[in-house]
Amino acid sequence: MPETLLALQGVHTHIGAYHILHGVDLSVRAGEVTMLMGRNGAGKTTTLRTIMGLWAPTEGEVRWKDRSLRGLHTPGIARLGIAYVPETMGIFGDLTVQDNLVLAARGAARAAELDTGRLDWIFGFFPALKKFWLYPAGKLSGGQKQMLAIARAIIEPRELLLIDEPSKGLAPAIVQNLVQVLRELKAQRTTILLVEQNVAVAKAVGDTAAVMDDGRVVHAGPMAELADDEALQQRLLGLSLGAHA
């Protein structure tokens, strides 16, 4: 059984007057892809943002390995080896593709110091980034911006990736490239917590699934078990994964 790398224990999060997370319990095991699923508004994005310290939990604990993340700000959490790809992408529109990747690489102060082998690996999946290397990121298409956001997170090896809706806005062919990226990252023993509405992606890469509803995790188990049980899918998600494969 793989070790638990990240654990949320009874996490509550308030945003202003709104109580969004209501006692989230979630375990993410090392080397696995954990799918965080649920209907819109279930609390998935808030969970990722709470893990990254962008919103502080008002109750409960977020633990990374053997330590609590309570009181640790986002830059400190990132330095632990955790990268976050938000649904809003989080790229710098006024900077070039090159500069965005340099900023994301802790071990490079300029483009010449980037790991060229890893960069070529990324270009193999997202060739548009090579084509628009010196192009302002803000002028990329929505799908190209999403590619850049993912590339920023993986420009250097990370121990844990938190990724929010990565296939959103991508053409089907690029989604297949994304699936291959995720599979290769998993083969490299990168741990991934992935929010994804594209059920074909979830089935292709997920090891385990946690389903949220109304700010709580209401189901956790193997992804294959959820994919094979249409009645469970209908009850938890209101859809059939098989019909969307």
pLDDT at site 241: 57
pTM to 2 decimal places: 0.91
Which tens digit of pLDDT belongs to each residue from 33-45?
A: 999 999 889 999 9
pLDDT at site 170: 80
Which tens digit of pLDDT belongs to each residue from 116-158?
A: 999 999 999 899 999 999 999 999 998 899 889 999 999 999 9
pLDDT at site 142: 87
Rounded to whole angstroms, the Cα distance separating 3 from 14 reads 30
Residue-range domains of the chain with CATH = 4-81+160-244 (3.40.50.300), 96-157 (no CATH)
Q: Is the pLDDT confidence value at 22 over 90?
A: yes
Rounded to whole angstroms, the Cα distance separating 239 from 230 reads 8
pLDDT at site 177: 87
Rounded to whole angstroms, the Cα distance separating 128 from 130 reads 5
The mean pLDDT of the chain is 92
Bridge partner list, 219: 211
Rounded to whole angstroms, the Cα distance separating 40 from 232 reads 18
Asked if 9 contacts 61 with a C-beta cutoff of 8 angstroms, the reply is: yes
Amino acid letter for position 101 = L
- How far from chain centre, in Å, is Cα 69? 18
pLDDT at site 194: 97
Residues 6+ apart with CB under 8 A from 226: 209, 211, 219, 232, 233, 236, 241
Asked if 96 contacts 110 with a C-beta cutoff of 8 angstroms, the reply is: no
Q: Which pLDDT band, with edges at 50, 70 and 90, does 243 fall under?
A: very low
Which tens digit of pLDDT belongs to each residue from 71-114?
A: 899 999 999 999 999 988 789 999 999 999 999 998 888 999 99
- How far from chain centre, in Å, is Cα 236? 21
β pairing state of 82-85 and 160-164: parallel
Burial (0-12, 13-18, 19+ Cβ within 10 Å), 158:
buried
pLDDT at site 245: 42
Q: Is the pLDDT confidence value at 63 over 70?
A: yes
Question: Which range among 16-25, 131-140, 200-209, 225-234 shows the weakest confidence by mean pLDDT?
Answer: 225-234
pLDDT at site 98: 97
Rounded to whole angstroms, the Cα distance separating 174 from 148 reads 12
pLDDT at site 143: 86
Which tens digit of pLDDT belongs to each residue from 179-211?
A: 999 999 999 999 999 999 888 899 999 999 999
